[in-house]
Amino acid sequence: MGKDMSYKDKKVITIGIVRDLTGLSERQIRYYEERKLIFPERSAGGSRKFSFSDVELLMDIANKIEDGVQTHDIRKEMLREQKKHNNQEDVRRKMIQGQLNAQFGLRKK
């Protein structure tokens, strides 16, 4: 993780604080981790550390669960969104490379 990381993505919040912020039980939070919906980091002592982005994601997950969406469907949606994001990044990277090639007269071989 680079020095440009947003404060929202820094994993510094303990599970107890996440519980207080979200209203979820520690068991629910651990369950969502088991289902690969959330990915906390671990401290040297093994404690889970979450980010503000994780807290927002947990709230979104809890709302979907409350609406009757199953965890495997949430995971599928998350994977689709990640794939879409990765595809957009690939297109962006290719466009920038094309602009650089055009600017400096480089051609693909």
Percent of the chain scored above 70 by pLDDT?
A: 94
The CATH fold of domain 1-69: Multidrug-efflux Transporter Regulator; Chain: A; Domain 2 (1.10.1660)
pLDDT of residue 90 exceeding 50, the answer is yes
- pTM of this prediction? 0.73
The per-residue pLDDT for range 28-70, each reduced to its tens digit, is 999 999 999 999 999 999 999 999 999 999 999 999 999 999 9
Q: How far is CA 73 from CA 40, 47, 59, 61, in A?
A: 21, 28, 16, 11
Mean residue pLDDT across the chain: 91
Contact 57, 38 (CB under 8 A): yes
Distance, CA of 58 to CA of 37 (rounded, Å): 8
Exposure class string for 65-85: b at 16+ Cβ within 10 A, else e: beeeeebeebeeebeeeeeee
